[in-house]
Amino acid sequence: MSRRDLLLIPPLLFFAVFYLYPLFSILRLSLAPEGMIRWEIILRTLQGTAFWRVLGFTVGQAALSTGVTLALGLPLAGLFARYPFPGRGWWQAMATVPFVLPTVVVAAAFTALLGPRGWINQACMALLGLPEPPISFLNTLTAIVVAHVFYNLTLVLRIVGNAWAHLDPTLEMAARTLGANRWETMRRVTIPLLMPAILAAISLVFLFNFTSFGVVLLLGGPQYATLEVEIYRQAVGLFNLPAAATLALAQLGLTFGILAVYTRLQARLVFPLEWRPAASTARPPRTWWERIGIGLGLMVLFVWIGLPLLALVFRSFTPMTLQKPGEAAVYTGWITLGYYRELWINRRGAITYIPPIEAVRNSLVFAVAVMLLSLLLGGVVAYGLAGRRRRRWLDPLLMLPLSTSAVTLGFGFLVGFSRPPAFLQVWPGLVDAMMALRTSPLLVVIAHTLIAYPFVVRILLPAMEGMNPRWREAALTLGASPWRVWWHVEAPLLGRALLTAAVFAFCVSLGEFGATALIARPTMTTMPLAIARFLSQPGELNLGQAMAMSTLLLLLTFLGILLIERFRYRGIGAF
Give 111-127 as a DSSP string: HHHHSTTSHHHHHHHHH
Query: Which CATH superfamily groups domain 43-100+141-295?
Result: MetI-like (1.10.3720.10)
Fold agreement (1-35+357-575, 43-100+141-295):
yes
Query: Three-state SS string across 29-63, please?
Result: HHHCCCCCCCHHHHHHHHHCHHHHHHHHHHHHHHH
Q: Is the overall model pTM greater than 0.85, yes or no?
A: no
Question: How far apart (Å, rounded) are the C-alpha atoms in residues 169 and 125?
Answer: 51
Domains of the chain, residue spans? 1-35+357-575, 43-100+141-295
CA 469 distance to own-chain centroid: 34
Question: How far apart (Å, rounded) are the C-alpha atoms in residues 248 and 25?
Answer: 11
Tens of pLDDT, residue by residue, the chain (575 residues) = 566 677 788 888 888 888 888 888 777 766 666 666 666 767 777 777 888 888 899 999 999 999 999 999 999 988 888 788 888 778 888 888 888 777 777 877 888 888 887 888 888 888 888 888 888 888 889 999 999 999 889 888 888 887 787 777 777 778 777 777 777 887 788 888 788 778 878 888 898 888 887 788 878 877 888 888 888 787 777 777 777 777 877 887 787 777 666 656 554 544 444 555 555 566 677 788 878 888 898 999 999 898 988 888 888 887 755 444 444 444 555 677 778 888 877 665 544 456 778 888 889 999 999 999 999 998 888 877 776 554 556 666 777 787 676 777 777 787 777 766 655 655 666 666 666 777 788 888 998 998 888 888 877 877 776 666 677 778 778 777 777 777 777 777 777 778 888 888 898 888 888 778 778 877 788 888 888 888 777 777 787 888 888 888 888 888 888 777 776 655 444 44
Span 1-35+357-575 CATH architecture: Orthogonal Bundle (1.10)
CA-based nearest residue to 406, from 212, 253, 224, 151: 212
